[in-house]
Amino acid sequence: MAKKKQGFAGQRLIELPNYILEKYGEINTTSKIGNFTKVGFFPDAKYQFMEENDGREEYVLIYCINGYGVAIINHKIFHISPGDFFIIPAQTPFSYYADKIKPWTIFWFFYKGTAIEEMSDLFIKSAKSYKGYLPYNEERIKLFNRIYQYLERGFGDDNLTLINMCLLNLISSFVLITDIDVHKENKNQSLINTSIQFMKENCAVHITLSQMAENVNISVSHFSFLFKKETGFSPINYYNNIKMQKACEYLKFSDFLIKEISFKLGILDIHYFTRLFSKTMGVTPKKYRTQNK
């Protein structure tokens, strides 16, 4: 597998100098809550790879908003999909890497501080896992961008205090969701899960947007808005992605002809199937089969 540790088109990366963190920690008690050491955004991070056999001094939080990857934390393997996040405690061996066909887009944060670390440990203990899931949320993405904006303004004491408050807000949005938020997100997520299951059950045929909305008894416009808000994808794009993931399984584990696979997915136009697969996976069906056999 090709490996690439840094450098992606459109990436954003900010690292706080150690002397700034040490100076700030000496004069401001909010640093005990927690503070960032590095913040990054890697879009379409093909060949991205990171490994620390002895772990890091900081905690690491990575949130995937698109694509796929794998995280190995304390010798446990986690397959990462859109909406998944994972937390790596300090001094914990880990590696993680982007999928070579459909690489992830991730926000990542290195941080430390007594309160934030305890909060992170509580999540890991409660979930009995280093991995969690949160549906796509525009407000959370805005919070990420706000953090970058503050960091780009420099490292004055007042600015670092604002950043630390954002850190507390950010981590708590992942690990300390209130009962009200859980009920609201669960209600919406239940509807989305029903829709996704409907898509999977009808992967071998063709269903329309109207049929998807009718299945959960809401209007087409509201269904499209809610689905995009919760997943980050339009319903049709998500449905096509399900079909293409199923196509990947056929290509990897069967000897069906590409034309037969297309028909099994309810796509009668082989040329359209090939274009859709190539657009989604980045390679043609034939090349994908060759790479994965």
pLDDT tens sequence for the chain (293 residues)? 444 445 455 677 777 667 666 665 655 555 567 777 788 888 888 888 999 999 999 999 999 988 889 999 999 999 888 888 999 999 999 999 998 888 999 988 898 888 888 888 988 888 888 988 877 667 777 777 777 777 777 666 677 777 777 777 777 777 765 444 444 555 677 788 788 889 988 999 999 999 999 998 899 999 999 888 878 889 999 999 889 888 988 998 889 999 999 999 999 999 999 999 998 888 899 998 888 76
Specify whether 91 is located in the same domain as 60.
Answer: yes
Query: Based on the number of CB atoms within 10 Å of its own CB, is 217 exposed (0-12), middle (13-18) or buried (19 or more)?
Result: exposed
**Whole-number Å distance between alpha carbons of 92 and 219:** 48
| 3 domain-assigned | no
Specify whether 35 is located in the same domain as 142.
Answer: yes
Asked if residue 70 lies in contact with residue 99, where contact means CB atoms within 8 angstroms, the answer is yes
**Whole-number Å distance between alpha carbons of 127 and 176:** 12
User: HSE-up of 149 (CA within 13 Å, CB side)?
Assistant: 8
Specify whether 97 is located in the same domain as 192.
Answer: no
| 133 domain-assigned | yes
Query: Based on the number of CB atoms within 10 Å of its own CB, is 76 exposed (0-12), middle (13-18) or buried (19 or more)?
Result: exposed
Which CATH number goes with the domain that contains 246? 1.10.10.60
Task: Output the pLDDT for position 72.
Answer: 95
For residue 61, give both structure tokens. 């939080």
Specify whether 58 is located in the same domain as 147.
Answer: yes
**H helix intervals, the chain:** 18-27, 114-127, 138-152, 157-175, 179-201, 209-215, 220-231, 235-253, 258-264, 270-281, 285-292
Q: What single DSSP character describes residue 68?
A: B
Specify whether 155 is located in the same domain as 189.
Answer: no
Domain boundary among 145, 160, 177: 177
Domain boundary among 110, 145, 177: 177
| 73 domain-assigned | yes
Specify whether 219 is located in the same domain as 134.
Answer: no
**Does the global pTM surpass 0.85?**
no
Residue 104, domain extent: 12-177
For residue 207, give both structure tokens. 């269903």
Task: Output the pLDDT for position 182.
Answer: 45
Return the amino acid letter for 200: K
Tell me which residue of 159, 68, 142, 158 sits closest to 106, measured CA to CA.
68
| 64 domain-assigned | yes
For residue 184, give both structure tokens. 């609201």
Phi-psi region of 179 (alpha: psi -120 to 50; beta: other; left: phi over 0): alpha
Domain boundary among 157, 177, 197: 177
Task: Output the pLDDT for position 2.
Answer: 46
Q: What single DSSP character describes residue 177?
A: -
Specify whether 153 is located in the same domain as 281.
Answer: no
Which CATH number goes with the domain that contains 138? 2.60.120.280
Give the SS3 label for residue 75. coil
Specify whether 161 is located in the same domain as 187.
Answer: no
Tell me which residue of 209, 283, 194, 193 sits closest to 247, measured CA to CA.
283
**Whole-number Å distance between alpha carbons of 150 and 265:** 47
Asked if residue 33 lies in contact with residue 116, where contact means CB atoms within 8 angstroms, the answer is yes
The CA distances from residue 156 to 21, 51, 71, 233, in Å, are 11, 32, 35, 38
| 200 domain-assigned | yes
Task: Output the pLDDT for position 269.
Answer: 94
Task: Output the pLDDT for position 282.
Answer: 85
Specify whether 166 is located in the same domain as 187.
Answer: no
Specify whether 59 is located in the same domain as 123.
Answer: yes
